[in-house]
Amino acid sequence: MDEINKKIKGILDTNDIVLFMKGTPEAPQCGFSMAVTNILKHLNVKFEGINVLQSDEFRQGIKDFTDWPTIPQLYVKGEFVGGCDIVKEMFEKGELKKLLQDKSLLS
């Protein structure tokens, strides 16, 4: 496993909810990242926002790691959930809240 995959794995192993995004949760750098950030904030869950714009290696690395072409990417307990459209749809259907409850991440 190469260095970037090790880093990604380390982040996923140490955080329950991780959003690989453009920018930070406080200052998203694209509308899609902002949308997912707002959903997570609305659900009132603690999550780790990883700014992929800090390194091209990292930005490409997460796409290769997941085999998913776009950012943002949401992970819950180390499992890839999806990008913006999937997260939005799951949120609207109540599936995201259920997933977080099932993983004991929501009260």
Instruction: Report the candidate in 11, 2, 1 with the shortest Cα–Cα distance to residue 73.
Output: 11
Q: What is the rounded CA–CA span in Å between residue 84 and residue 73?
A: 7
Q: Where are the domains of the chain?
A: 3-102
- pLDDT(107) > 70: no
- pLDDT(1) > 90: no
Predicted TM-score of the model (pTM): 0.95
| Rounded average pLDDT over 85-95 | 98
State the pLDDT at residue 84. Answer: 98
Please write the tens of the pLDDT for every residue from 30-49. 999 999 999 999 999 999 99
| Rounded average pLDDT over 1-15 | 93
Contact assessment for residue 21 and residue 52, using Cβ atoms and an 8 Å cutoff: yes
State the pLDDT at residue 39. Answer: 98
Q: What are residue 73's DSSP bridge partners?
A: 20
Question: 31-43: string of b/e by CB count within 10 Å (b at 16+)?
Answer: ebbbbbbebbeeb
- pLDDT(68) > 90: yes
Element (H, E) at 72: none
Q: What is the CATH number of domain 3-102?
A: 3.40.30.10
CA distances from 74 to 27, 37 (A): 17, 10
